[in-house]
Amino acid sequence: MAPTKGARPCRRPYGGYYRAVRPQPDLGLTCAAPGTPLGAYLRRFWQPVALASDVGDRPFPLRIMNEDLVLFRDRGGRYGLLHRHCAHRGTSLEFAIPQERGLRCCYHGWTYDIDGRCLETPGEPGHSKLKETIFQGAYPVRELKGMIFAYMGPADELPDFPLYDALEYPTDNPLVPYALDYPCNWLQSHENGADPIHTAFLHAISSGVQFTPAFSELPMVEYGETPIGLVATATRRKGNNIWIRASDVIMPNSAQFGSAFVDGTHEHYAVCSWATRWIVPVDDTHNLTIGFRHFNRVMDPEGRGDPDLVGRNSVDFMGQTPDRSYAEQQAEPGDYEAQVGQGAIAVHAAEHHGSTDRGVLMLRRLLRQGIKAVAEGAPFKAPRLNGAGVVPTYNHEIVHRYPARGNQDDRELLAEFGHRVGEIVLDSVSETPAARQARVEARIRAEF
């Protein structure tokens, strides 16, 4: 018999004929266009949309969440983000001319301020009041450390700008922004951060060692909610040391990670970040993977990172871009191939989940909760500034000497250690980042 719509996949050898019709994507979690529930949710947050280096003397056209926009800097030095097509006759403002104040359309000279207010309609009679009735679509923007953020939600619900503590600590922490263009849906890229087991297979066992050999050891994994999202923890043994790599997944589409260079051989206590990134929908089948590489000696004591390799469609760790040959990609696939290889939009209904997928499923659940909360006007998880003016975050990477015990299952010991360290990190958020770092190390040493 032929497959029928909605039928359960046939579980039998050589059963491809019965699975030839794929289910449909989950549009509720994958489509961020204006007017969609996901689009309304994501627009309640500040989103990075470009690198400051993308914006020169001319406007920079971009597409974000299915909207065609133009980013510019006027001659007064102010950034603006406008709907791309002029409110007059629809000419693209990518061809407009930055003014001392605002942006002038090339076609008829209509000029718009950074808030969309029409400043001039020079072809109209001198007594015309037309400009007073015209507003070009516009969004607030802010530059931070070489990255441009925009808020694309309702203007009367503008949230605090989410300055993460990891972007401020340690004080000697050069940040280099990067932006990668991915031809796939945003969610399959974002879910990578909630899937710590993939680092063992994709970055070591299956594809060969891409980071360090220590990643080839299968970790104990644990997932727990935080006030701003979830933490996905991988705990491994390296000789007499236990190594924790706990990734901080921040709602709705941000995450922070530990180093790709740690080998677990030296004690190491870091409550900060090696990379902070956002996955921003461009449209249903493309995303902007954009973030900061951190070059601090707390997270990378040996200084193995290379800031000169970080920028537009470039970053200093393997497998994040499509710049290798197809033969190389097949022989040693990385994150780019694994994410794009799921198809333009991953089909959740075709997946078969195991125990290590709990983080991905937790992330999807939290997204649905946030979408529902926005639709109902209820509170939702979001980065919140504390009394020090920063958002406490939860990324941590710990290597601590704690030998195996002959009378205890080591996997059980790893699980207990990873869980307890996670509690210690969660308990430390009321302190300044520097004090927090010292307190976490002191408590781990005292208890273990």
pTM: 0.94
Q: In this structure, how many other beta carbons lie within 10 angstroms of the beta carbon of residue 89?
A: 10
pLDDT at residue 219 tops 60: yes
**Calculated CA dihedral for residues 311, 313, 314, 320, nearest 10 degrees:** 140
pLDDT for the residue numbered 431: 87
What does the buried/exposed string (b/e) look like for 415-439 if buried means 16 or more CB atoms within 10 Å of the residue's CB?
Answer: bebbeebbebbbebbebbbeebbeb
Q: What is the pLDDT of residues 330-376, one digit of tens each?
A: 999 999 999 999 999 999 999 999 999 999 999 999 999 999 999 99
pLDDT for the residue numbered 406: 83
pLDDT for the residue numbered 2: 46
Please give the average per-residue pLDDT across 283-299, as a whole number. 96
Please give the average per-residue pLDDT across 382-396, as a whole number. 94
Long-range contacts of range 201-206, CB-CB < 8 Å, 24 or more positions apart? Answer: 202/319, 202/333, 202/334, 202/335, 202/338, 203/260, 203/319, 203/334, 206/333
Side-by-side strand order, sheet with 46-51:
46-51, 147-151, 141-144
pLDDT at residue 11 tops 90: no
Please give the average per-residue pLDDT across 210-229, as a whole number. 94
Model confidence at 17, in pLDDT bands (50, 70, 90)? confident
141, 81 Cβ separation under 8 angstroms: yes
DSSP secondary structure, 164-230, as one string? BGGGT-SSS--EEEEEEEESS-HHHHHGGGG-TTHHHIIIIITT--SS-GGGGSPPEEEEEEETTEE
For 333, the token pair is 């696939």
Of 13-22, 222-231, 234-243, the poorest mean pLDDT is in: 13-22
Please give the average per-residue pLDDT across 416-425, as a whole number. 96
Domains of the chain: 46-156 (2.102.10.10), 165-447 (no CATH)
Q: What is the pLDDT of residues 337-347, one digit of tens each?
A: 999 999 999 99
pLDDT at residue 236 tops 90: yes
pLDDT for the residue numbered 16: 85
Q: What is the pLDDT of residues 157-170, one digit of tens each?
A: 999 999 999 999 99
345, 284 Cβ separation under 8 angstroms: yes
pLDDT at residue 3 tops 50: no
Q: What is the pLDDT of residues 61-76, one digit of tens each?
A: 999 999 999 999 999 9
SS3 category, 384: coil
pLDDT at residue 112 tops 90: yes
Q: What percent of the chain has pLDDT over 90?
A: 90
Which phi and psi (to 5°) does residue 80 adopt? -140, 150
pLDDT for the residue numbered 1: 42
Round the average pLDDT of the chain to a whole number and report it.
94
Instruction: Give dist(CA 57, CA 287) in Å, integer.
Output: 26
Please give the average per-residue pLDDT across 80-107, as a whole number. 98
pLDDT for the residue numbered 287: 98
pLDDT at residue 21 tops 90: no
pLDDT for the residue numbered 9: 54
60, 68 Cβ separation under 8 angstroms: no
SS3 category, 40: helix
Model confidence at 8, in pLDDT bands (50, 70, 90)? low
Please give the average per-residue pLDDT across 320-332, as a whole number. 94
